[in-house]
Amino acid sequence: MTTFRWHNHDYIHYIRSQTDKHNVDNIARTKAYQRFYAAFPEIKWAFLASMVSRNAGWNMTDLWLSPFIAILSARQRWSMFMTYERSNWLIFADAYPQLLLYQLSIDTQQSLFHLLPAFQVSRYMQQEWEVFWQHQDAERLMLALIINEQNVIEHPVIKQDYFKYRVFLRPAYFLQDFFLLNAVLLPTASQHVYGAFVHDFTSINKRIEMGKTLASIVFHPQVYRPLLEFAQSVEHTGSRRDYERYCGIEIEAAPLLRSVYPVIAHQDKWRRDWNKRKRVQAKWLATVSLTPDPQIKKQFYNRRRLMYAYSHVKDILT
């Protein structure tokens, strides 16, 4: 009796096919992260990624709420959707092969991280996975993945001309940023909502700091268990109604994501190894620790109501 032995090209083919399978839209990506975390809870970043990905889906369908339709043109709303979609897609395209290589390394009881360059993953992450394989430092790996993912989207999204001129240099973005209308919310089974407001998204330093802040909230003893219970029990649809119906929030319901957006065909020709042109900065490695603030729900929805009021006044004046 012979046993089939995989070779490097078999691993590469399997990982590419699985990544393509789950990288079709925000719903599939979010669920893939969550399933991976359920199987490998030592990879803490996967749970963080699943919750941030849920928020990306909620931001996408928010664009179909009446104030966004009143304030933004259809072209502006599509460009903003593509900002969320492109970032979500790129991070998954980079991170999911890393997660699968870890799974295969566990299965075969040998490090397979030398295959990461086949998936355009940075040499920085290859080194970090090797360190994790030897020392099992879950916090260090989570931080490395936060740093990596924000560098991954820096040039293909933040610095890319399409997004720069159609989104980040437009008045709608500056207004949203100035009034803190965007936030990553972390709803829990206990009906508390935690999270943090997003500010200065075009700054890589601020995005990395935001990632570390969210990680400190997600894995805080007060938050982690009820947040995990919410994630395990509530199907991700891309609509904020996923949590609003449990939290006593009476506001216009966003549509289901798959009812309003098609599957987008992406190209991966702009992703490069960022670590060849940029070193990891010392401030990126500084830890963040804070007490979760449950008041963000009230603050977020107060700002939402102001946006509804503004769009109503704008509608009357026009």
Dump pLDDT digits (tens) for 65-96: 999 998 889 999 999 999 999 999 999 999 99
| pLDDT band at residue 114 under the 50/70/90 scheme | very high
Residue 171: pLDDT band with limits 50, 70, 90: confident
pLDDT digits (tens, 9 = 90+) for 115-154: 999 999 999 999 999 999 999 999 999 999 999 999 999 9
- The angle at the Cα of 281, spanning 275 to 283, to the nearest 5 degrees, equals 150
Backbone angles phi, psi at 193, to 5 degrees: -125, 125
Type of residue numbered 74: A
SS3 for 303-316 is HHHHHHHHHHHHHH
pLDDT digits (tens, 9 = 90+) for 258-296: 999 999 999 887 778 999 988 999 999 998 988 898 899
User: pTM for the full model?
Assistant: 0.94
Mean pLDDT of 181-191: 92
Report phi then psi at 184, rounded to 5. Answer: -100, 115
Average pLDDT across the chain, whole number: 92
pLDDT of residue 310: 76
pLDDT over 50 (residue 3): no
DSSP, collapsed to helix, strand or coil, labels residue 184 as: strand
Give the separation between CA 262 and CA 257, rounded to whole angstroms: 9
Instruction: Say whether 185 sits in a helix, a strand or coil.
Output: strand
Q: Calculate the alpha carbon distances from 181 to 70, 185, 243 in Å.
A: 16, 12, 18
When pLDDT is cut at 50, 70 and 90, the band that residue 2 belongs to is very low
* The pLDDT of residue 1: 35
